[in-house]
Amino acid sequence: MPSILTIREKEIFNLIIQNKTTLEISNILYISEKTVRNHISNVIQKLGVKGRAQAVIELLRLKEITL
């Protein structure tokens, strides 16, 4: 089954579960903080959840990311 996340979205959520901040993620991936927030918002919208924490839980449940 294909992933519901883009490669970039997966990279960002893998960094989120490593407790990285938006600024740290933007520096690691060489993109702006706004771009990081846009990717996070897109994932939250795709999943129909209310925030980052719920998105992480849902992505773990769907086996899109692993701890």
Buried residues in 13-35 as b, exposed as e (16+ CB within 10 A): bbbbeeebebeebbeebebeeeb
Residue 2 banded pLDDT, cuts 50, 70, 90? confident
pLDDT at 57: 97
The pLDDT tens digits for 21-55 are 999 999 999 999 999 999 999 999 999 999 999 99
pLDDT at 20: 98
pTM: 0.93
pLDDT at 1: 65
CA distance 19 to 37: 15
